[in-house]
Structure 1
Amino acid sequence: MTANFDIPATSRAAVITEFGADLEVRELPIPDLEPGALLVRIEAATVCGSDVHVWDGSLHAGGVRPIVPPVVPGHEMTGVVVSMAGDDIGYTGGGRVAMGDRIVFTQGRCGTCYHCAVAGQPNLCSHRRNYGDNCDNHPYLVGGFAEYCYVYPSSRKIKVPDDVAPEWASAGSCALRTVIAAYERLGRIEPWQTVVIQGPGPLGLFATALAKRSGAARIIVIGAPAARLELAREWGATDLISVDDAPDAETRVSTVRELTGGNGAEIVQEWSGAGSAFAEGLDMVRRGGRFLVGGQVGPHHVTIQPAKIMKNHLDIIGSMSADDSHYWKAMQFLSQAKQEFDFDRLMTTRYGLHDVTAALRGMQNLSEIKPVIDPRLLAS
């Protein structure tokens, strides 16, 4: 059964036509729905750092994911259900999807490959259907920077709490759920431990909030620019190291060592994506400590001394994306922690579809923390 709101025949979408070029706003067909699929009207989308890597071609060039323009970018979005192919579509966490519900949703997954069905790691699905993908063929609207988005039947659906703003939920559907999943892999943070966070972008800021919630004694955040570091302080950082004031790795490492009595931190988390951050972070970890790597998606290579890992008895923990439970947990965190953390401070400029290129450039040059794409905003 298919139920419909009043839906147009086409949807405006911002489209990458070639890597690094200005995006075009195009009219794309509203697709027919496969059984179990949904159509949502986008309330808000937010720009992720990996959207910049889709746009500039580095994800494709680095072999992380094949990207073939034209592409509708965007994989962080909140939408209102306006059409559904089926009347028994369930939510992660319980309940049934209904018309008019506000939702976020996971990447599509096959459910039968080794990682989905055996290892319990659907985030590593061999046949994942991504958002922010080619729009030449059905279902066309498979990115968040559009008026409407197609929700794959194999995507898990998560209801957004009424008290969670759409742009918060959008950011929560990628940055926050990624951090929550990583924290589960990291394990317990003791109240006497020091946590170092490399990178005060959206991932690092959410990681700061979770470190505070976890009760860490000391939280050291490293990066720039100053506005991001100040927000990190508001969200729980006890110490800040600006890369503008400490431009070389040796100074940053020695500062961390000084703050920790010469020992280094029990936990270091890499969220910056910077090419030098992995090798640098290794030198900040206390012997016997843990190093969580969640921000390295680029094609760069680094040189390290493997003996440091062995002789210092380090746990190196890689964390990629998340599963549907972490999307649900992200929505609950946003609802429960909104009095403690001003999530509006994470959101910066609002852009219409005609200005997505400016939003991507702002994310690229760090003048924006988390730009919001509002498809209702029209060019003046």
Structure 2
Amino acid sequence: MSTTSIPETCRAAVLTEHGAPLEIRELPVPAELEPGALLVRIEAATVCGSDLHLWDGSLAGSQALTLPVIPGHEMVGSVVRIGPGAERDTFGAPLHPGDRICFTHASCNQCEHCRLDNQPTLCTNRQYYMFTSCAKPPYLVGGFAEYCYVFPNSGRVKVPEEVRTEWASAASCALRTVVHSFDRIGRLNPWDTVVIQGAGPLGLFATALADHLGAGRIVTIGAPDDRLKIATSFGATDVVSLSAAPEPQDRIDAVRDLLGGRGADVVFEFSGARTAFTEGLGMIREGGRYMVTGQIDGPGKEVPVRPGFITRQQLTIMGTWSGHIAEYYKALQFVRNTRDRYDFGALVPHRYTLDNATDALARMRAQEDIKPVLVPHATPAGVSA
């Protein structure tokens, strides 16, 4: 099944050495699909902070991998081949060649986390894009490529017509992770004060979602200042700039000053900064809730914490890892329903080819780009100029 001629090989930007430029390679395009699998033509792949950590090697503490790999796990593909039994998306919508989809890492549906806990993101047998070697079949297992193989157990959802391809790509990791975090932390009320640590893609999406859900006051912390302007347009009632509050205690004091000396009802950590967790503890009120999402594990990430403080303050502290197909669906619907309220295009203004993938990573690391968009093909469908 195809809407276009499918080549026997395609180009991919491959990580062969941590910190080194990505290497453009020709890799086989699978001609035969397993039952439940799909082959998609990548229309856009957005760069995630996890791609940066994969590139520099700091993700090794949280996820095993064997090089070479294709970076990228947030992407939109148009269906070009459909394996047996893969004629519908996870929610029952028919799939046809040319349909745009987002798709998940593949959980096994057999382990305790999948079957008993209903937490497939903790699956002990999960197949991951960008962590799976591209040196063996099915080869195309990352978003920085012209085509990608959709694992048989990957959840998949059609992208609504009203959602631009690059918005959907960003939603397929950053926003779905934010949605998962909000689902886990529980209801936000109109009288709640919310602190968002971080003004990167996750923090900005979180600001918009907190605003949409009706939080009474939203304080977004981050840098550079042009991102804080986006946060304000996304609903932040207050912002704290890292340039004005360069030290952890400065930021704690700034938040408490804004809130009249009181801590926030809910704090979300989306920054990934080493000191962010202890800072967040200083920003939360007694009995408050703290969601930690931006942190990765590894050497040098340890911070001192006083457990008695958590006990005495009676805090609820939770973590979120990744997201599954329900969060993808909700993220896409949020973008679809609020596209006239929030300028999602402000998060994805710049385009790069596969040949410039390393430049895209470097610009994101330097905070010169919020979320770069890789466009593998010369005339991508659905991506704005």
Name the TM-score class by shorter chain.
over 0.9
Report if the CA contact (8 A) 1:293-1:317 is conserved: yes
Unaligned runs of 5+ in 1: none
Secondary structure, counterpart of 1:107 in structure 2: strand
SS state at 2:339 partner: coil
Q: Provide Cα deviations, 1:231-251, integer angstroms capped at 9, x if missing partner.
A: 101100111111111111111
Q: Which residue of 2 aligns with 1:93?
A: 91
Distance 1:376 1:112 in 2: 37
In the TM superposition, what is the alpha-carbon distance from 1:93 to its structure 2 partner? 2.3
Mapping of 1:1-380 within 5 angstroms?
5-31=4-30, 32-60=32-60, 62=61, 64-86=62-84, 88-132=86-130, 133-299=132-298, 300-377=301-378
State the 1:66 CA deviation.
Answer: 1.2
Q: Deviations over 1:263-288 (max 9, x none)?
A: 11111110000000000100100001
SS at match of 2:80: strand
- What whole-Å deviation, never above 9, does each CA across 1:184-234 have from its counterpart, x for those lacking one? 111111111110000000000010001101111111011101111111011
Indicate the SS of the match to 2:345.
helix
8 Å CA contact retained: 1:353, 1:377:
no
SS at match of 1:79: strand
Aligned partners of 2:365, 2:137: CA distance in 1, in Å? 30
CA distance in structure 1 between the aligned counterparts of 2:103 and 2:71, rounded to whole angstroms: 15
- Displacement of 1:67 in angstroms is 2.0
Two-structure CA RMSD over aligned residues (Å): 1.3
- Indicate conservation of the 8 Å contact 1:268/1:292, yes or no: yes
Amino acid aligned to 2:195: V
**Does the 8 Å contact 1:142/1:149 carry over to 2?**
yes
Provide the C-alpha distance between the structure 2 equivalents of 1:98 and 1:188, rounded to a whole number of angstroms.
37
**CA distance, structure 1, for counterparts of residue 361 and residue 206 of structure 2:** 23
Give, in whole Å, the separation in 1 of the partners of 2:160 and 2:223.
33
Hey, what's the Cα distance between the residues in 1 that align with 2:248 and 2:75? 36
> Hey, what's the Cα distance between the residues in 2 that align with 1:88 and 1:159?
13
Q: Distance in 1 between matches of 2:40 and 2:296?
A: 29
Distance 1:190 1:83 in 2: 45
Q: Give the Cα separation in 2 of the matches to 1:284 and 1:174.
A: 27
Displacement over 6 Å in runs of 4+: none
Q: Distance in 2 between matches of 1:231 and 1:269?
A: 18
Asked whether the equivalents of residues 35 and 86 of structure 2 are also in contact (C-alpha less than 8 Å), the reply is: no
What CA distance in whole angstroms lies between the structure 2 residues aligned with 1:85 and 1:217? 48
Tell me, what secondary structure is at the counterpart of 2:105? Answer: coil
Question: Could you list the runs of 5+ residues in structure 2 that have no partner in the other structure?
Answer: 380-385
Per-residue deviation, 1:90: 2.6
TM-score normalised per structure 1: 0.96
Report if the CA contact (8 A) 2:10-2:147 is conserved: yes
CA deviation after TM superposition for structure 1 residue 100, in Å: 1.5
Letter in 2 for 1:267: V
What SS class does the counterpart of residue 230 from structure 2 fall into? helix
CA deviation after TM superposition for structure 1 residue 347, in Å = 0.6
Q: Which residue of 1 aligns with 2:383?
A: none
| Pairs aligned (count) | 375
Equivalent residue letter for 1:194: T
- How far apart in 1 are the matches of 2:26 and 2:87? 29
Q: TM-score, normalised by structure 2?
A: 0.95
Letter in 2 for 1:235: F
Q: Percent identity?
A: 53
